[in-house]
Chains A and B, each alone.
Chain A
Amino acid sequence: MEYIILIITAIFVNNIVLAQFLGICPFLGVSKKVDTAGWMGMAVLFVMLIATLVTYPIYYGILVPYNLKFMQTIVYILVIAALVQTVEIILKKTMPALYSALGVFLPLITTNCTILGVAINVINFEYNLGQSTVYAIATALGFTLAMVLFAGIREQTAITKTPKGMDGTPIALLTAGLLAMAFMGFSGVDKGLSAALGL
């Protein structure tokens, strides 16, 4: 039950893009077509899950016992960068089909703040390994959902005439604002749900 609330909160209530403002760059950058947006979301899901599963034991196994917590940022960013490179090489050798679908996005993901953000968040929220895994998956699904919805709307606004100054980014930001407003409708759902389930 606790996991269901965690999932709903991460996908809808605290959506990583529309409520927490992480991963705005890919959100604005690769959201012109629905299928590219979907693949980007899948790539993020893949890397986020692996990154969380790798950085979690590093934090509790190495940084905490040796009192190196302040090195978190440096260690995490290096581990994530190395991880993305490794994943890229392995995919290229073993799964060429998947690589050609996700390949272009992988280098982009190293500097995607959602990955580092989630890896730091699971430590800040003091989740255990199971909760961290679920949280990483749900957050990435929330990211994918926001990306796909946004790309769908952008495909429509692309064929509409906009005022000159609003062309490009401003209209995209405005669309994102309205989408964020729609997602605000979910606020409180998590609390209501946990009250209804008696947690």
Chain B
Amino acid sequence: MSKLGIIINGIIKENPTFVLLLGMCPTLGTTSSAINGMSMGLATMAVLICSNFVISCVKGLIPDKVHIPCYIVIIAGFVTVVQLLIKAYAPAVDETLGLFIPLIVVNCIVLGRAESFAAKNGPLDSACDGIGIGLGFTLALTLLGLCRELLGAGTAFNQPVYPEQFGALTFVLAPGAFITLAYLSALFNKFIKK
């Protein structure tokens, strides 16, 4: 598979949110607006690219029996790096995402890709897989956030679209996350996943 093919595969055929159904906690928890969803997606993507690349580089050195703890330490290292960078340069993002940034470490997407892709492929291909899956995740989160924001608050990327009082606040609150994701994945099932 070419590098571009790997990236596209991650966005559509193996979309982490709609097809693989991985990493549901941040998907539901951080998508109260498009911007929040996008920042979460980008933070996860950064961890995914770095951890995929490094794991693929060191896979020959790690004994098979302890490979999962080793992967987790590598992932946790990058999560800490991303966490500190966000705290330093984007404190507002840190405030809104809060607990979900350290929780990237237990996001099944990251460990799942390390195990199923990075452990079997070269460093560059793994980095491309990280980009693809990361983009797929970011797009899904942005879309979900956009729908919720539009239906709930009448804005898109913080730009007003229609007056706020016509929005249904439920979509910004907890139940809206489940319901919006339910309909989006039903649509994805119907039109894209044959």
* A28 CB within 8 Å of chain B: yes
Interface residue tally for chain B (C-beta within 8 Å): 41
Within 8 Å CB of A166, what residues of B? 182, 186
* B57 CB within 8 Å of chain A: no
Bound-state CA distance A166–B179 (Å) is 12
Q: Does A73 contact B182, Cβ atoms closer than 8 Å? A: no
Q: List 19 contacting pairs A-B, 8 Å CB cutoff, sorted by A.
A: A20-B29, A21-B177, A22-B99, A24-B25, A77-B72, A78-B69, A111-B106, A113-B25, A116-B103, A166-B182, A167-B189, A169-B185, A170-B183, A170-B186, A171-B182, A173-B179, A173-B185, A178-B175, A184-B175
As a 0/1 sequence over residues 111 to 136 of chain B, the CB contacts with chain A under 8 angstroms (1 = contact) are 10000000000000000000000000
Bound-state CA distance A122–B83 (Å) is 19
Bound-state CA distance A106–B148 (Å) is 35
* A18 CB within 8 Å of chain B: yes
| New contact pairs (6) apart from A77-B106, A170-B183, CB-CB < 8 Å | A20-B29, A81-B72, A166-B186, A169-B185, A181-B175, A184-B174
**Nearest chain B CB to A27 CB, angstrom units:** 8
Within 8 Å CB of B108, what residues of A? 25, 111
As a 0/1 sequence over residues 27 to 65 of chain A, the CB contacts with chain B under 8 angstroms (1 = contact) are 010000000000000000000000000000000000000
Give B31's nearest chain A residue, CB to CB. Answer: A21
Bound-state CA distance A169–B24 (Å) is 12
**Nearest chain B CB to A100 CB, angstrom units:** 24
Name the contact of A70 in the complex, choosing from B25, B80, B179, B187 (C-beta under 8 A).
Answer: B80
As a 0/1 sequence over residues 70 to 102 of chain B, the CB contacts with chain A under 8 angstroms (1 = contact) are 001100110110011000000000000001001
Q: Does B25 contact A23, Cβ atoms closer than 8 Å? A: yes
Counting chain A residues whose Cβ lies within 8 A of the other chain, the interface size class is 35 or more
* B158 CB within 8 Å of chain A: no
* A90 CB within 8 Å of chain B: no
Within 8 Å CB of B111, what residues of A? 111
Within 8 Å CB of A112, what residues of B? 106
Within 8 Å CB of B151, what residues of A? none
Name the contact of B73 in the complex, choosing from A19, A74, A116, A164 (C-beta under 8 A).
Answer: A74
* B154 CB within 8 Å of chain A: no
**Nearest chain B CB to A186 CB, angstrom units:** 12
**Nearest chain A CB to B176 CB, angstrom units:** 7
Within 8 A of B (CB), among A118-140: 120-121, 124
* A91 CB within 8 Å of chain B: no
Give B177's nearest chain A residue, CB to CB. Answer: A21
Within 8 A of A (CB), among B1-52: 21-22, 24-29
* A72 CB within 8 Å of chain B: yes
Within 8 Å CB of B65, what residues of A? none
Bound-state CA distance A72–B177 (Å) is 29
Bound-state CA distance A112–B24 (Å) is 11
